[in-house]
Structure 1
Amino acid sequence: MRVLLVHGTGVRQKRFDATFDLVARSLRGHLPDADLVPCYWGGDFGVTVTGGLKSVPADQVTRGVLDDVPVAGPLEQEVALWSLLLADPLCELRVLAAASGSEDYGMPGVRSPGEAVARRLTDLAAHRPETGELRALLDSLGIAGHYGPVLRRIAGATEFAEACAHARDPVDAREVVAAVARAVTAGLLSAAKEEAVCTGAERDRLADLFSGLLGGTARAPGGRATAVLGTLALRILTQPALNHWRGPITGGSAPALGDILRYQARGGPLRDHLEGVLRSGTGPTVLIGHSLGGIALVDLLAMAAARQAPLPGVRLLVTVGSQAPFLHECGALTGLRPGAGLPPGFPDWLNIYDRQDLLAFRAQPVFPGDKRVTDHEVTSRQPFPLSHGAYWKLEALYQRIAEALPASGRPGPGAAE
């Protein structure tokens, strides 16, 4: 029995050779008579970027992957801090509450500046503005509907109460006001998610308006919390890192992303190549396709079956970490029209997936009732993207392929003779 191994996106000769050797050794323990046939296509049908990536902004391209991260400018610092605030609107208040300690030297019967801030936020939360600049800005940003819930949630937060309780002088109160204004602004934008359409200037104006209503006079400069969180944000958040590594990231991902885009636009030559390799031998055949290789095989088999000319000898299709089911749900699978089922003559299909692999999808729910389609879940116990390439070291993969094969000499349901 022949077993054709079709690799996925971004794979080139050296990596394919190593994978082929690994699969051959592992498969031999379950199918000792199998003849594993390489089906390498990356060299002729994959993308090769020559002359550099001219489309990437020039100042992002020249940094190497081992360079130190440069000192961030004001824009990078601002983006990093707001990224952290959008993920956790209370983070600045949490730092202020922790940094202030537990001392309380307030005068009995005298409301402290921090307590005044707390009272103002409670009053703001109770009454959404009906007119004025704040209401107009809330409406224009698409966040007015979240006003009450967000302000009440922040007003009731332990972090807010503790930060206000420790603000015993005007300087501390100004810092709390600035942090609360940013927390409310970030909370509103975070609650609205993609419904919010907001520029940095509008975001800053919104924070200024809340600052004024809370007793501040203008946007306060960064204080203790900003100093702590700004540095942390630059180190752990995605956007500053992406800005710095855009050239290397794009250059490194060009083969993987480019292979997908090229196949979607001009997949015919690759499918012709796969069919040529398949027809070059005889006898029962198992097709194993990883990632984009699985997409191409599903397209090839579906298109051949639709022409009522199924490819000869195909006993089983195995897709590993495949996006074919997802593409079909989106109406973007070349071999099947949107919403169509698998045509007569399409072989048995075993779809292997790992739920930690973000590029792996289930096929059975997409083709309900089709007994030719079987999903099988495995796990490498690795996060993505390592999970996408770890299938080949899982004994469960080869065991399940062996179990899926029909008895020797009998074609499986729907397989071409």
Structure 2
Amino acid sequence: MSTLLFVHGTGVRRPACTEMLTLLRATMPGHTRVEECYWGDCFGVPDGVGTAALPGAEPVETYADAQSVPTDDLDDDDRAALTWGLLYENPLTPLRRTEDSAFGGMVADRTGPQVARRLKALAAEPPEALAALLDDARVKEEFAASVTAVLDSTEGQEAVALGLRPGELPSALATAVIAHLLGVAQHRGTPVLWSTGQRDEAVRAITTALGGVPRSALDRAALRASWWTARRFGVLGRVEKNRAELMTGVHPKLGDVLKYLARGHRLRAFIRDRLAELGPADGPVVLLGHSLGGIAAVDLLIEEEAGGVDHLVTVGTQAAHLHEIGALPSLDPGKPLPEHFPAWTNFYDKRDLLGFAAAAVFPRRVDDIEINTNEPFPAAHSAYFAHPGFQRRLAGILRDGA
């Protein structure tokens, strides 16, 4: 048997941590015991604290010029990720009707009422391919709520009553429902529980159940409509602007990081105590640190030799970057890792703006593994855990240590 001790990341609180643990326990080998190291309530910044000194934000300028978006520089994966990022924020975008001239003389689809009835029915009895993804009772309930929200929206009612291009309504409704479901979960702070492949399979299953044809061209119809609408109304200009502001301004979860950098010894002591509670009967220990949890784990293992920790795994963490700029509390700039530091595997995603590579900063002491979740940021920051490639790699580390 081996034990996986999970240290969550910045901004995570009990509900989201519980869902991450549930996912880890469901996807790791049967001989693995998954334990938590939950610190959010004790060492994180309480909700509502830190706003008294925050001046009112200036209104974001609207950019209606579609040419401000560098679309030519994006490959298909980047465009899909950026578009889904828009959809998580604006799930009704695929249902927005363009002006009549955009139909190119085609007659709008008039099967809307029939398609809407099918969608309501599958909310109660989802097709087999979708039911497998909705096996959790709460997720199934939230899926039904998303169906209702989409159909009751102004955009949904107009699309059903007036129609879209021929053949596009099933795919547009399917995309809107899944975007609403995952967007609500993301805003709640829940980790991404589906891989992009599972997300796309859900869209295909709903499209088929609604009488649509899930060919590749039609699968992308809603995404093309979303991209066109985003450019038409300048939404992507704001997305690009907000991305830059996100990296240079105040991140909503920055409070936990700042508190750690000032008083991180308390969190490190908490992790040390959790490790001490694990005995020889628990087998080899793999310490899994996500985001800020990875920083704290690296700091602790630099400061002292933690008995029983055979392997450190960091996911979407900033530890190497902090050391590179001289901000890692436990190690002076330019200093190597101590000899007692255990084997270390670091996962990062190029679209996760909070995930960094580490091998170039700590040569020959850490193995970097890039994971392409195809999710936009911030969804990419927690999407590792649902990615099959990450699950296989982590399971392999646990098997090797068992």
TM norm structure 1: 0.50
Query: How many angstroms apart in 2 are the aligned matches of 1:405 and 1:240?
Result: 40
Q: 1:239 to 1:24 in 2, by over 3 A?
A: closer
2:355 to 354, 360, 363: 360
Q: 1:49 to 1:337 in 2, by over 3 A?
A: same
> Corresponding residue for 2:386?
393
User: For the Cα contact (< 8 Å) 2:302–2:330, is it kept in 1?
Assistant: yes
Q: 1:240 to 1:392 in 2, by over 3 A?
A: closer
Q: CA shift at 1:238, angstroms?
A: 3.8
Matched, 1:15 2:16: yes
Q: CA shift at 1:232, angstroms?
A: 7.7
User: For the Cα contact (< 8 Å) 1:350–1:404, is it kept in 2?
Assistant: no
Q: 1:235 to 1:362 in 2, by over 3 A?
A: closer
User: For the Cα contact (< 8 Å) 1:7–1:291, is it kept in 2?
Assistant: yes
Query: How many angstroms apart in 1 are the aligned matches of 2:45 and 2:265?
Result: 15
> Corresponding residue for 1:303?
303
> Corresponding residue for 2:219?
none
Q: CA shift at 1:374, angstroms?
A: 0.8
Q: CA shift at 1:404, angstroms?
A: 3.2
User: For the Cα contact (< 8 Å) 2:8–2:289, is it kept in 1?
Assistant: yes
Alignment of 1:178-189 (within 5 A): none
Q: 1:54 to 1:379 in 2, by over 3 A?
A: same
Residue 45 of structure 2 aligns with an amino acid whose one-letter code is V
Matched, 1:273 2:270: yes
Query: How many angstroms apart in 2 are the aligned matches of 1:51 and 1:24?
Result: 33
Q: What do the CA deviations read for 1:108-138 (whole angstroms, capped 9, x no partner)?
A: xxxxxxxxxxxxxxxxxxxxxxxxxxxxxxx
Residue 382 of structure 2 aligns with an amino acid whose one-letter code is G
- Secondary structure of 2:286's match? strand
Q: What do the CA deviations read for 1:84-130 (whole angstroms, capped 9, x no partner)?
A: 9899xxxxxxxxxxxxxxxxxxxxxxxxxxxxxxxxxxxxxxxxxxx
Alignment of 1:37-186 (within 5 A): 37-50=35-48, 53-58=51-56, 60=57
Q: Which has the higher contact order (CA 8 A, sep 6+)?
A: 2
User: For the Cα contact (< 8 Å) 1:315–1:405, is it kept in 2?
Assistant: no
Q: Which runs of 5 or more residues in structure 1 are unaligned?
A: 62-68, 88-230, 305-309, 410-417
User: For the Cα contact (< 8 Å) 1:302–1:335, is it kept in 2?
Assistant: yes
Residue 269 of structure 1 aligns with an amino acid whose one-letter code is R
Query: How many angstroms apart in 1 are the aligned matches of 2:69 and 2:370?
Result: 35
- Secondary structure of 1:375's match? strand
Q: CA shift at 1:395, angstroms?
A: 1.8
Q: 1:54 to 1:2 in 2, by over 3 A?
A: same
User: For the Cα contact (< 8 Å) 1:319–1:351, is it kept in 2?
Assistant: yes
Q: 1:51 to 1:335 in 2, by over 3 A?
A: closer
Matched, 1:383 2:376: yes
2:317 to 322, 337, 341: 322
Structure ID, larger Rg: 1
User: For the Cα contact (< 8 Å) 1:26–1:395, is it kept in 2?
Assistant: no
- Secondary structure of 1:365's match? coil
Aligned length: 235
Q: What do the CA deviations read for 1:385-414 (whole angstroms, capped 9, x no partner)?
A: 2111101101211221233357456xxxxx
> Corresponding residue for 2:115?
none
Q: Which runs of 5 or more residues in structure 2 are unaligned?
A: 71-230
Q: 1:264 to 1:394 in 2, by over 3 A?
A: same
Q: CA shift at 1:278, angstroms?
A: 0.7
Q: 1:235 to 1:397 in 2, by over 3 A?
A: closer
Query: How many angstroms apart in 1 are the aligned matches of 2:10 and 2:32?
Result: 25
> Corresponding residue for 2:217?
none
Query: How many angstroms apart in 2 are the aligned matches of 1:239 and 1:386?
Result: 14
Q: CA shift at 1:240, angstroms?
A: 12
> Corresponding residue for 1:289?
289
Query: How many angstroms apart in 1 are the aligned matches of 2:255 and 2:333?
Result: 24
Query: How many angstroms apart in 2 are the aligned matches of 1:384 and 1:32?
Result: 32
Query: How many angstroms apart in 1 are the aligned matches of 2:44 and 2:234?
Result: 36
Residue 317 of structure 1 aligns with an amino acid whose one-letter code is L
Q: 1:9 to 1:52 in 2, by over 3 A?
A: closer
